[in-house]
Amino acid sequence: MRFISSIVVLALFALSANAASIKKRGISAHFLVCKDHIDSIDAQITFVHTRLNAYTASQDINVALHLRIAEQALLERMKKAGTDCCSVTGIITDEEADTMLVTVAPVIPKATNALASLAERKAVFDSIHFATDIAKIDIKDLYTNTTAIYTCIHDIGSVQHPTYIPVINNYIN
């Protein structure tokens, strides 16, 4: 029993220390929610890209459906990020702006590579009934959601941290 209570005390101490360091760095709880969403998108893009690259025309429709489910999960994460990130209000601290740049930086090339893989594998999807039509819908939805997230990050940054805009634009171009 003493061992378990010691672990609980250590865990609580670690959590309180982490919370204190977050506040100390000038990063708001609302902003951290946005960052967590972007991190979640990053992980899901990796998952989808891996499955996309492994998919072959010889696999059955169920494998394609599982890929579609993974893509839909990615879209849902993007919608949630768009909603939560774009509702950030108030002054964005330098620490928050820096954190966002560091968070977004690895996601952009992963998203670009995943879309390139999707385009390169068009012939594989053409061999499956309706798969090309579904892929086109997914690409449009990914584009719409990516644009929404980019626009809100750009708009928030352009007002409060105009020096960050060239950096953000370089990630996209």
71 token code pair:
């893509």
Domain that holds residue 58: 27-172
Asked if the structure places residue 124 within a domain, the reply is yes
Residue, of 15 and 88, whose pLDDT is higher: 88
Q: What is the mean pLDDT of residues 37-44?
A: 93
The tens digit of pLDDT for each residue in 3-19 reads 333 333 333 344 444 44
Q: How many domains does the chain have?
A: 1
CA gap 37, 83 in Å, rounded = 10
Contact 27, 98 (CB under 8 A): no
Asked if the structure places residue 160 within a domain, the reply is yes
Asked if the structure places residue 120 within a domain, the reply is yes
Asked if the structure places residue 22 within a domain, the reply is no
Residue, of 8 and 99, whose pLDDT is higher: 99
One-letter identity of residue 43: A
Q: Which of 118, 106, 19 is nearest to 67 (CA)?
A: 118
Q: Which of 72, 91, 98 is nearest to 160 (CA)?
A: 91
C-alpha dihedral sign at 28, 33, 39, 42: negative
Asked if the structure places residue 18 within a domain, the reply is no
Asked if the structure places residue 122 within a domain, the reply is yes
Is 110 a residue whose pLDDT tops 80? yes
